[in-house]
Structure formats: C-alpha cells, structure tokens
Amino acid sequence: MIVNGLLGLNNIGIVMILTRNYNKLWQSYKNSIFQFPSPMNLKRKFVVITAFNPLGHLYLKWRNFCLNRELEHDLDKRGLEFLPVLVSDHQFDYLEHSFCVCMDLEEAVIIADHYQQFAVFIVDDNELSLCPCQLFIDQGIIEVERVGLFNHLVRSPKGANQGIESMVWY
C-alpha cells in the first residue's frame, strides 16, 4: 500500500512515524532561541506564531515568506499588535521568521492551526511555554509545557546573549 509516499505501512505504522516525527519536532521547538533585530518593546504576555514550514515540512524560502506574509496580513486585519522575531536553533543553522503577537492563546492556536502549525509559543511574565494546536482544535483542551525563562533564550543575530536587559517590558 502507498500512502503519502510511504510504501508498505499500515495505519499503525503511519501513526508511529508521524508520532516520532512530531516528538522530534516538539523537542526542536523546546530548544529554540529568539532573535530580535533590535531592542524591542514587549508586553509581558504574548504569543510567538509563524506560518513557516506547515505540518513540519521544509518549504522553499520564497514559499515560506509568502505564507508568513499572509499571516502578517491576517494579524493586521484583526487589528493585532505584533513585532517580528526570528526563532532558530542554537547554532543559527535553522530559523523561522515569526511574530510576537499580543493576543489570547485560544485565538493564537486557531490561527496557527489555520496555517498548519503544530504549536505556538507563549510568553507570560518572562515564562516561556509551548502549546500544541491539535489538542485544542480536536478536544477544546489548552495544554502548555513550560520551556524556561524567555530572557535566557533571547540572542542577538551574531549569537551573543542580548538578554532581557535590551527588552523594554510594559
């Protein structure tokens, strides 16, 4: 049987592969760092959302930028306050253009799901957490996993710790 290019797998095998890939993706989310182009004024509570790489598939750069531009227009249409941020791995080998957005978590999850994202980041008074989208979409359950202190994960594009001192919180 061929399903989405996978040969000879039954439904259980497909679920196991998807679960393994999801777990790997979840771990990479938990190891993310955040880069701001310059010191920013940040509210004490916001979400970080992107439209890059839907369903964890790596898209071409131009396609990701088009998707993120759609997201930016969507946020703007809703009258939401947002700022750009780069979310990357610690080596800066992989990054996604994202937005810090002042919005409630439920709305963020619905928007992220529309752009086929697995999760959103939440920052609440410097506490960084992750929220999976599908659990809320399927069952109406909001579940978050604490990642750490946001200020410990803020870096400058060159890798030096920019830290919380350069952020203006209100």
72 and 106, same structural domain? yes
SS3 146: strand
43 and 25, same structural domain? no
12 and 44, same structural domain? no
For the chain, give the mean pLDDT.
81
- Please tell me the predicted confidence (pLDDT) of residue 62: 97
3 and 79, same structural domain? no
Which domain range does residue 61 map to?
33-169
Res. 157 pLDDT band, cuts 50 70 90: low
Other Cβ atoms within 10 Å of 105 Cβ, number: 17
The average pLDDT across 18-23 equals 64
* C-alpha distances out from residue 124 to 8, 37, 99, 127, 170, Å: 45, 21, 15, 5, 12
Q: Yes or no: say if 49 and 101 are a contact pair by the CB < 8 Å rule.
A: yes
54 and 3, same structural domain? no
112 and 96, same structural domain? yes
Distance CA 17, CA 63 (A): 25
SS3 77: helix
Distance CA 65, CA 4 (A): 25
Which of the given ranges, 96-105, 134-143, 153-162, has the highest pLDDT on average?
96-105
Please say if the pLDDT value at position 152 is more than 80: yes
Overall number of domains in the chain:
2
Please say if the pLDDT value at position 129 is more than 90: yes
- Please tell me the predicted confidence (pLDDT) of residue 3: 32
59 and 13, same structural domain? no
39 and 5, same structural domain? no
pTM of the model: 0.79
Structure tokens at 54: 């839907």
Please say if the pLDDT value at position 107 is more than 80: yes
The partner residues of 60 in beta bridges, in order of sequence, read none
44 and 5, same structural domain? no
- Please tell me the predicted confidence (pLDDT) of residue 20: 59
110 and 55, same structural domain? yes
pLDDT tens per residue, range 79-92: 999 999 999 998 88
60 and 12, same structural domain? no
55 and 12, same structural domain? no
